[in-house]
Structure 1
Amino acid sequence: MNKTIAFSTICVLLLIIGCATNPLTGKKTMALVDNSSIFPSAFQQYDAFLKENKVLSGTTDARRVETVGIKIKDAAQKWLTAVGKPDYLKDYQWEYKLVEDKAVNAWCMPGGKIVVYTGILPIAKDDAGLATVMGHEVAHALLNHGQQRMSAGMLQQVGAVGLGVATGNSSAETQQLAMTAYGAGSQMFGMLPFSRNHESEADKIGLILMAIAGYNPEASIPFWQRMGGASGGQAPPEFMSTHPSHNTRVSNLTKWIPEAKAEAAKYGVTFK
């Protein structure tokens, strides 16, 4: 067995062994790094971030962030219990913090650590808009997208090593050209579509979460339209971006709203 075949065999074994099934989607996903390793590191980074930034507490907006966040988390727990995974969130340590920052942004670290920037509140406008944001961010955490991105990054590095093995007998110039092409190609046709898929997946699951939590999923459409207006049309073309375009998001969400409402109805939540 030559080096290239041996290396390919190892990669295949890694993909087979390093997989997990997500209970919300039923999909098998890459899990080359376990959450037992990821969560403690994420919690430390979150605490460090809070110490270095201005966290607002006791204000009306800070209470809104926490209230909406708890409702989204409770919706996730209802859903997971219904699909037979009541203990799925046992290692999550939920926190919902509002940070004073003009950036139009929010994020959720692996394990349930959420930050909402004050800059996104005018675009969210109301609790339903905020639920759109937080449902999306919580969905990232529930879908283990952080774990998948780390695993994809590891595979990208492994691929580079494999390319080095395959071109080991070539000239230095050929090896350099191959590495440059691999880096650009794996980013454009691998990592970027992978990231866009995560965003769309979080949009869909987030829509269902906000609906189960009692927020009308139709509110997601004007929210993303406002986000599109706030960007001023400065976003890069979709194929060069880590995120879908706002038009793509609105189109997808419009198709998914009936499904979100139907899922919420299973828990006694209906919308006029």
Structure 2
Amino acid sequence: MKLNWVVAALLSFAVAGCVSKSPTGRSQVLTFTNAQMSQMGAESFAQIKKQQKISNDKAKTAYVNCIADRITDVLGTQQPWEVVLFESEQVNAFALPGGYIGVYTGLLEVAENQHQLATVMGHEVAHVLAQHGNEQVSRAQLTGIGMQVADAALGASGVDNKDLYMAGLGLGAQVGIMLPFGRAQESEADVMGLELMAKAGFDPKESIALWQNMAKAGGAQGPELLSTHPSHGTRIEDLQAMQQQVMPLYAQAQKQSLASCNIARNN
């Protein structure tokens, strides 16, 4: 009993030392360093590139890179981002710590223009900025499964461990293990992503059309990207409510000379 109390007390002190605030003011417990998260991101991205077919469509790849460049440019950092278009019917995309973005060609069939695709990419980059992956693997560590995740973060090479922390980074659909982002995290990424796309010169109004399209895609369950997200109606209502605050950001961006990312839909 006394030993259990001591362990619990030590754990409480450890957690207290790891509590921080997210960009929107939400409390987070983050037990991994930025370097560890970047390592997870790099290893996960390398693994996905080995497992998934990379698209050789130059026009679509340039289109995706153009949108990614405009979004990451507004971050104001020197962090280079690697962007890969994967040939797959999945209606999905992701971003990883360390500067990695993956987009699946299936998403291009649902995101009908550059503004709609920027909605998804801004949302995924926002997950990284808000350290949601760190939050997930930290939670896993503190609830038991995380010892395996921690070993992976420190360089262990077991496949099961890698799958666990890949899932923690939001890649559950790829590895079959779910540590899904919660609704608070998804809503936070919606807010931050909408601001990112507006600052990058993409029309925030198109975010509503995008999620309406997503709600129709893939039948009753919708595409992989929606598997753990808030309901379609809730998300659309929230996006509508945010339009007034982000439209000035879009108007300001329109005054700049920004590259067009249009692509012929037949490509």
Range of TM-score over shorter length: 0.7 to 0.9
In the TM superposition, what whole-angstrom CA distance separates every residue of 1:176-212 from its partner, at most 9, and x where no partner exists?
Answer: xxxxxxxxxxxxxxx9896121111111100000000
Task: Give the superposition deviation at 1:50.
Answer: 1.5
2:171 corresponding residue in structure 1: none
2:135 corresponding residue in structure 1: 148
Distance of aligned partners of 1:157 and 1:115 in 2 relative to their CA distance in 1, 3 Å threshold = same
Task: Give the superposition deviation at 1:35.
Answer: 1.7
Report SS of the residue matched to 1:217: coil
Residues 192, 242 of structure 1: 8 Å contact kept: no
Distance of aligned partners of 1:15 and 1:135 in 2 relative to their CA distance in 1, 3 Å threshold = same
2:239 corresponding residue in structure 1: 253
Distance of aligned partners of 1:56 and 1:256 in 2 relative to their CA distance in 1, 3 Å threshold = same
Task: Give the superposition deviation at 1:38.
Answer: 1.8
Distance of aligned partners of 1:143 and 1:18 in 2 relative to their CA distance in 1, 3 Å threshold = same
CA distance in structure 2 between the partners assigned to 1:2 and 1:234 by the alignment: 49
- The answer to whether residue 243 in structure 2 is matched with residue 244 in structure 1 is no
Distance of aligned partners of 1:153 and 1:192 in 2 relative to their CA distance in 1, 3 Å threshold = closer
Residues 204, 247 of structure 2: 8 Å contact kept: yes
What percent of counterpart residues are identical? 36
2:160 corresponding residue in structure 1: none
CA distance in structure 2 between the partners assigned to 1:193 and 1:232 by the alignment: 21
Distance of aligned partners of 1:250 and 1:143 in 2 relative to their CA distance in 1, 3 Å threshold = same
Task: Give the superposition deviation at 1:119.
Answer: 0.5
2:72 corresponding residue in structure 1: 73
2:6 corresponding residue in structure 1: 6
CA distance in structure 2 between the partners assigned to 1:46 and 1:99 by the alignment: 12
CA distance in structure 2 between the partners assigned to 1:56 and 1:128 by the alignment: 21
CA distance in structure 1 between the partners assigned to 2:145 and 2:89 by the alignment: 39
Task: Give the superposition deviation at 1:263.
Answer: 4.4
2:90 corresponding residue in structure 1: 103
Residues 75, 210 of structure 1: 8 Å contact kept: no
Task: Give the superposition deviation at 1:232.
Answer: 2.0
1:211 corresponding residue in structure 2: 198
Amino acid at match of 2:231: S
Query: Taking structure 1 as the reference length, what is the TM-score of the superposition?
Result: 0.73
In the TM superposition, what whole-angstrom CA distance separates every residue of 1:21-64 from its partner, at most 9, and x where no partner exists?
Answer: 44x33444211111211212321221232233221256211111
1:39 corresponding residue in structure 2: 38
1:80 corresponding residue in structure 2: none
CA distance in structure 1 between the partners assigned to 2:61 and 2:83 by the alignment: 9
Amino acid at match of 1:39: S
Distance of aligned partners of 1:262 and 1:155 in 2 relative to their CA distance in 1, 3 Å threshold = farther
Structure with greater Cα Rg? 1
In the TM superposition, what whole-angstrom CA distance separates every residue of 1:69-95 from its partner, at most 9, and x where no partner exists?
Answer: 011101222xxxxxxxxxxx55x4411
Residues 19, 29 of structure 1: 8 Å contact kept: yes
CA distance in structure 2 between the partners assigned to 1:193 and 1:248 by the alignment: 18
- The answer to whether residue 19 in structure 2 is matched with residue 19 in structure 1 is yes
Structure with a larger share of its residues in helix: 1
Distance of aligned partners of 1:242 and 1:4 in 2 relative to their CA distance in 1, 3 Å threshold = farther
**More displaced 10-residue stretch of structure 1: 242-251 or 54-63:** 54-63
Residues 132, 181 of structure 2: 8 Å contact kept: no
1:120 corresponding residue in structure 2: 107
Residues 211, 269 of structure 1: 8 Å contact kept: no
In the TM superposition, what whole-angstrom CA distance separates every residue of 1:128-184 from its partner, at most 9, and x where no partner exists?
Answer: 01101100111011111110001111122289xxxxxxxxxxxxxxxxxxxxxxxxx
Report SS of the residue matched to 1:157: coil
Distance of aligned partners of 1:263 and 1:17 in 2 relative to their CA distance in 1, 3 Å threshold = farther
Residues 105, 116 of structure 1: 8 Å contact kept: yes
1:220 corresponding residue in structure 2: 207
**More displaced 10-residue stretch of structure 1: 34-43 or 133-142:** 34-43
CA distance in structure 2 between the partners assigned to 1:193 and 1:96 by the alignment: 23
Residues 122, 196 of structure 2: 8 Å contact kept: yes
CA distance in structure 2 between the partners assigned to 1:245 and 1:149 by the alignment: 21
1:51 corresponding residue in structure 2: 50
CA distance in structure 2 between the partners assigned to 1:158 and 1:12 by the alignment: 18
